[in-house]
A = this chain, B = another copy of it.
Amino acid sequence: MNTPLNAAARQFRLREYPVKAVNSNTWQMTSDAPQEPLAGQLLVRNRWLSVDPGMRGWITPKRSYMPPVQPGEVMRAFGVAEVVQSNAEGFKVGDVITGFTGVQTLGLVDAQMVRKLDLRYASEQQYLSGLGMTGYTAYFGLLDVGKPQAGQTVVVSAAAGAVGSIVCQIAKIKGCRVVGIAGGEEKTQYLKNTLGLDAVIDYKAGPIASALNAAAPQGIDVYFDNVGGDILDAVLMQINRHARIVVCGGISQYLDIEKVRGPANYLQLIAQSGTMQGFTMRDYMSRVPEAFMALAGWNAKGEVKFRDHVLQGIESFPQAFDMLFSGANQGKLLIQLPSENA
């Protein structure tokens, strides 16, 4: 056993499932020494953690695409980590891997559940952001589920967020009229001035229906939804025939999981022969290389910009999580961990 490692290991565990907002009873910080890796396992030290809205679903005791985290378990998180001790063939100390490495400084992972990263093609940070799941989610959600055609109007909610900002840029590349919805001056300026969207709506500034009508005078062909709630309902009233609504998230409905409000205007799907379709990245794992190549190419040419919001240290996890819901983050939320244990 390795004393410095043990002394430094820290974890955020789920204490109890939140019913509404995450609160002081949700998380518990512990400092349990990691176990030795069993056969097929690796002991890894996290370098980067990804903080995503989907995490709210993992601490909801309800059927979903993955089993919920159990109270007492280390909180699930996608991360990039360095192998510190290997008991699995094909992995050696110093390898950099990605997978569900958890909200912890050090921990065990099954080697079969992670993959090695090749840092010649992208940085550790990029692999968790625009060139990782976030970028792939934008790519497949917009292009495969949303199927935008040049000249059509694409509306994106949480447009300044991690996934939304990439969706907006890909839609521009595809020749669409792109309308971004975000809250507050900083975000709307970013969408207008840095990303060059055709129209931007500050949903905090006034009624959404009339703003949408002005921003999308030809109606809405594709809506990439990260938020649900009032915005989804307003969009439904303005969709064009055969519109596609990509259901990527519903963050307005994550704060009170017992009172989720469904889209009251969903019967417009009949009137307009529209489609609402959900997806997750597990539908597209075999096509990750395609998305990686496309995103890396656009990024190299400056056609797709990534914006990350980086917090420092494992202690910042609760704050980072809260930012997802307050909207205080500017871009993809990441936590960077010291590469040498503090």
Contacts and interface: CB of A to CB of B under 8 A. Distances in A.
Interface of A: 57, 63-65, 228, 233, 237, 247-250, 253, 260-280, 282-283
A267 B278 contact: yes
Given A237-B63, A262-B261, A278 B283 contact: no
A262 B266 contact: yes
Contacts of A280: 270-271, 273
Q: For the complex formed by this chain, how many copies does it contain in all?
A: 2
B260 A247 contact: no
A26 to B, nearest CB: 20
10 contacts: A57-B271, A253-B267, A260-B265, A262-B263, A269-B278, A270-B280, A271-B278, A273-B282, A275-B277, A275-B278
A273 B265 contact: no
Contacts of A279: 270, 273
B273 A283 contact: yes
Contacts of A271: 57, 63-65, 278, 280
A277 B145 CA distance: 13
Most B CB contacts (10 A, CB to CB) among A263, A265, A282 go to A263
Most B CB contacts (10 A, CB to CB) among A64, A274, A277, A283 go to A277
Contacts of A264: 260-262
Contacts of A272: 65, 278
**A contact patch SS:** loop
A262 B237 CA distance: 13
Contacts of A57: 271
A277 B243 CA distance: 10
A20 to B, nearest CB: 16
A247 B265 CA distance: 12
Contacts of A276: 266, 269, 275-277
Contacts of A268: 63-64, 278
Nearest to A266: B262
Given A262-B263, A263-B263, A247 B228 contact: no
A221 to B, nearest CB: 15
Nearest to A257: B267
A276 B269 CA distance: 8
A233 B64 CA distance: 15
A273 B267 CA distance: 20
Most B CB contacts (10 A, CB to CB) among A261, A267, A283 go to A267
A297 B279 CA distance: 38
A252 to B, nearest CB: 11
A267 to B, nearest CB: 5
